[in-house]
Amino acid sequence: MTAALFAAVGWNLARDVSQMLSYPFMQNAFEAGTVVALAAGIVGYFVVLRRSAFAAHALSHVGFAGGAGAALVAVAPLWGLLAFSVGAAAIMGGIGRRLRERDVVIGIVLMFALGLGYLFINLYQGSATDVYSILFGQIFGIDRFSVVLSAAVSLGAVLVLGAIYRPLLFASVDPEVAEARRVPVGALNVAFMTLLGVTVAVAVQIVGVLLIFALLVAPAAAAERLAARPAAAIAASAAIAVACTWIGLFLGFYFSPPVSFFIATLATGAYLAARLVSSVARRGGLRPRPGSRG
């Protein structure tokens, strides 16, 4: 399964990296991993800000049905992932903004999609490896077409996010005032969920359905603790997601545990480290003045 069959780590970083990148499948993995991690890190900032982690979780599981469906009809898994995630995102985004209702509808969409996914893998006569690769990612197996499509989709998501950045920030932090200032809060919710669906679809290829938070939540949650200014937090989130992906790919290439395990572990480590750093900083110079809490 692992790439360690091809090469052994030599503890000379430059040589190891160039050796690793001499394999075309590793070039594909790095290219796809980088663009997807960038998009996931950026979109992830809004996932954390808007507390949409449950929606991200659900969309990735909806992607499972999409991936299984694509295998069934023998098209590239990314098409199925995109179709299902974006469709479900539109449904989730279209429903009311009340948290309670939203959670229930998201849960029902998630449950129905998993049921469909189970049906698809039941009908599908291929190998269990395909199912595993949807659940846990299959970055080393990514083909050229999927790399290009992932790059296009990720870039498109980031560009759209840039265009709606300010109103989306307003609607996320302060929806009531935003509404009064004529920001289309409802339409932005649908737009954001669609962007999230697209990002989830491409990220599932890297870390899989079950480890999606490694790229979509953990880096942003870590970044939010390290940087408060939105632009800085977004940049930090993207940087952490890319770093986790790069180091994860490197370790996955030279050592036997799978890449998604490394990325998930690194992302968890980044979050814990950020918590530690921010709580130390808070206890130090940044402490609020005594008695200023009301």
Least distance CB 166 / another protein (angstroms) = 6
Q: Name the residue nearer to another protein (CB basis): 162 or 269.
A: 162
Least distance CB 129 / another protein (angstroms) = 40
Tokens of 202: 């491409």
Closest CA to 49 of 163, 181, 192: 192
Q: Name the residue nearer to another protein (CB basis): 49 or 247.
A: 49
Residues that bind another protein (CB under 8 A): 49, 162-167, 169-170, 173-174, 176-183, 224-225, 227-231, 233, 282, 288, 292-294
Q: Name the residue nearer to another protein (CB basis): 83 or 236.
A: 236
Least distance CB 216 / another protein (angstroms) = 17
Q: What dihedral do alpha carbons 12, 18, 24, 27 form, nearest 10°? A: 90
Question: What is the C-alpha to C-alpha distance for residues 267 and 85, in angstroms, rounded to an integer?
Answer: 23
What is the Cα 139 distance to its own chain's centre?
14
Question: What is the C-alpha to C-alpha distance for residues 29 and 246, in angstroms, rounded to an integer?
Answer: 9
Least distance CB 71 / another protein (angstroms) = 38
Least distance CB 230 / another protein (angstroms) = 6
Question: Are 45 and 230 a contacting pair, CB within 8 Å?
Answer: yes
Question: What is the C-alpha to C-alpha distance for residues 118 and 137, in angstroms, rounded to an integer?
Answer: 18
Q: Name the residue nearer to another protein (CB basis): 165 or 255.
A: 165
Q: Name the residue nearer to another protein (CB basis): 46 or 124.
A: 46
Q: Name the residue nearer to another protein (CB basis): 31 or 174.
A: 174
Three-state SS letters, 79-123: HHHHHHHHHHHHHHHHCCCCHHHHHHHHHHHHHHHHHHHHHHHHH
Least distance CB 292 / another protein (angstroms) = 6
Closest CA to 37 of 269, 206, 260, 268: 206
- DSSP structure class, residue 288: P
